[in-house]
Chains A and B, each alone.
Chain A
Amino acid sequence: MIAPKLKRTIIAWGLLAPLVVVTLFPFAVMFLTAVKPAQEVLTPSWWPSEFRWRNFYDMWVQAGFGRALFNSLYVSVIATVGAIVISIPAAYAMSRFRFAGHGAFRQFLLVSQMISPIVLVLGLFRLLASFGLVESLNAVGGVYMAFNIAFTVWMLQSYFDTIPRDLEEASWMEGGSRWLTLRKVFLPLCVPAIAVTAIFTFINAWNEFVVALTMLRSQESYTLPIQVFSLVAGRYTVEWHYVMAATLVATVPVAILFVWLQRYLVRGLALGAVK
């Protein structure tokens, strides 16, 4: 007789196997192509004759990877911090006050998600260009911030709704001001939700492509997705091993975030999203 947990483990992995295979397939392709010697890249064999770890180093130098990594981090952090700071008050108001336009605001946020970035970009670009904000990483961060506001407000409000008011009311009874209560009682309870929402925003900004492509023009300001794309797009020849290495390395920071926040992610969303 095997232990129930072991039995569950076998069944669970067995059922997940197809998805796991399909999910990992592109990563396997990336990894194996990334370590192939240049001459073998075009042959479809899976195993390289030798592992060229140097490809990663060469790619880093040739693709100017470090700079792009920094730019990506920079815009993602601006977007994340900005979106969170701006949406906390809004979500708090939506959760704790009844006011006219409450529902309309929420619906407006949903509508704001409905336009494809590809479409928005032309108008947005003209807007920003009229202020000379082209080629500015800050402006790109700002746009990401705006793109994510709807989602962050929704998530945070849903989570805030689940926090019992008793705790705050108790604090008011004791003579705490609204501000003090907010800081000492309410916000500490929200840390997981804020963390989760922040991660969502961070990933969206990290992977964003169209806006960055339109707004940034010099190699010095390219973010990772653009930098990697420029290794592929329309060149007369593509150095696939570098492309794959770059894609893989660009994945690592986000993957680490997943590992670290995996528990939060689930718990935070549990309370968010729906209410």
Chain B
Amino acid sequence: MHNRALPYLLTLPSLILAAVVIFWPVVDLIQIATHDVSRFGQLRDFSGLDNFAALVADPDFIKALLRTGVWTAAVVGGALLVSIPVAVILNTDFYGRSLARVIVMLPWAVSLTMTAIVWRWALNGESGMLNSALRGLGLADHNIQWLASAATAFPMQIMIGILVTVPFTTTIFLGGLSSIPDDLYEAAALEGAGPVQQFRRITFPLLKPFVNIAIVLNTIYVFNSFPIIWVMTQGGPANSTDILVTHLYKLAFRIGKLGEASAVSLVMLAILLVFTAIYIRLAMRGERA
């Protein structure tokens, strides 16, 4: 092309916009994390890695770190397991397909915070509508105290996490599926391949790049997701459903340890960076990520 500057000119506005939002706060975070900082963010002495050391020494942080791994893997994995078959079904031609698609997408239409509030309300032990539904249907004979302990609360939160991740994931897969030409299937059918074989030979390989995208983006979003756990349990009881974001929120805005909170967020950023780098290397080799 003749004009060498043109592509840079065209990308510049978006680069600046994205950079302002990211670059500035991150610089800020690094400064806060490496300084002794007052309750209201005034920087005092440079403290090096003290804030990070304090984190490592905190058993709650380590537990939250591990739990974040479980949370992210379960929600991303679960959403994947649900979304692939759902997308395959929604890609076939049946009566009411448009309606089904809209229903599957519905959770996307509500802000996460409100979804979590509604679920918290529905999961209430005595006046929650889930318990009364289960009892009405004869599926439970006493009220289940869903949010009273992590043993029931955390799986519920994961379930809700999956539920709100499915619309986005399914939409991506639907896109992938509709780009697969029908004649591929017809040819396979002629060769006597059944539906399962068709899925394994045609659908899945062609869907793979979409799966990779979904995994990377969902991991980023779920890892950072705050409202579901915060609204329902605030990471409790006794920090037993805490993930890194909720831990960070408590550190920053409850207890007022802005330095440690900033350190947590840098650790989180590092984890995501490493994860995506490795994942893109391994899974997306040969593709343009």
Binding site for B on A (CB under 8 A): 5-6, 8-9, 11-13, 15-16, 19-20, 22-27, 29-30, 32-33, 42-46, 86-87, 89-90, 92-94, 97, 99, 101, 105-124, 126-127, 143, 145-147, 149-150, 153, 203, 206-210, 224-225, 228-229, 232, 240, 243-244, 247, 250-251, 254-255, 258-259, 262-263, 265-275
Please, could you name 14 A-B residue pairs with CB atoms under 8 Å apart, sorted by A? A26-B115, A29-B118, A44-B132, A90-B11, A93-B11, A115-B265, A123-B26, A124-B24, A145-B17, A208-B111, A265-B171, A269-B172, A273-B213, A274-B210
For A150, give its contact among B18, B89, B226 (CB under 8 Å). B18
Closest to B120 in A: A232
CA distance in complex: A30, B115 (Å): 10
Beta-carbon contact of B276 and A97 below 8 Å: no
Chain B residues near A15 (CB-CB < 8 A)? 85, 89
Chain A residues near B94 (CB-CB < 8 A)? 5, 8-9, 11-13
Beta-carbon contact of A46 and B122 below 8 Å: no
Beta-carbon contact of B105 and A258 below 8 Å: yes
CA distance in complex: A262, B171 (Å): 10
Chain A residues near B34 (CB-CB < 8 A)? none
For B276, give its contact among A29, A42, A110, A263 (CB under 8 Å). A110
Distance in Å: Cβ of B178 to nearest Cβ of chain A = 5
Beta-carbon contact of A9 and B95 below 8 Å: yes
Distance in Å: Cβ of B233 to nearest Cβ of chain A = 15
Interface of B (DSSP majority class): helix
Known: A46-B129, A273-B175; 15 extra A-B contacts, CB below 8 A, are A8-B94, A12-B100, A16-B86, A16-B89, A44-B129, A110-B276, A115-B224, A115-B268, A118-B249, A143-B21, A207-B111, A250-B110, A254-B110, A265-B105, A271-B175
CA distance in complex: A68, B282 (Å): 46
Beta-carbon contact of A207 and B18 below 8 Å: no
Distance in Å: Cβ of B72 to nearest Cβ of chain A = 12
B109 within 8 A of A: yes
Distance in Å: Cβ of A91 to nearest Cβ of chain B = 8
Beta-carbon contact of A89 and B226 below 8 Å: no
Beta-carbon contact of B24 and A127 below 8 Å: yes
Chain B residues near A268 (CB-CB < 8 A)? 175
Distance in Å: Cβ of A17 to nearest Cβ of chain B = 10
CA distance in complex: A254, B105 (Å): 10
Beta-carbon contact of A149 and B11 below 8 Å: no
Give B4-38 as 1s and 0s: 1 = Cβ < 8 Å from A's Cβ atoms.
Answer: 10111011011101111110111111000000000
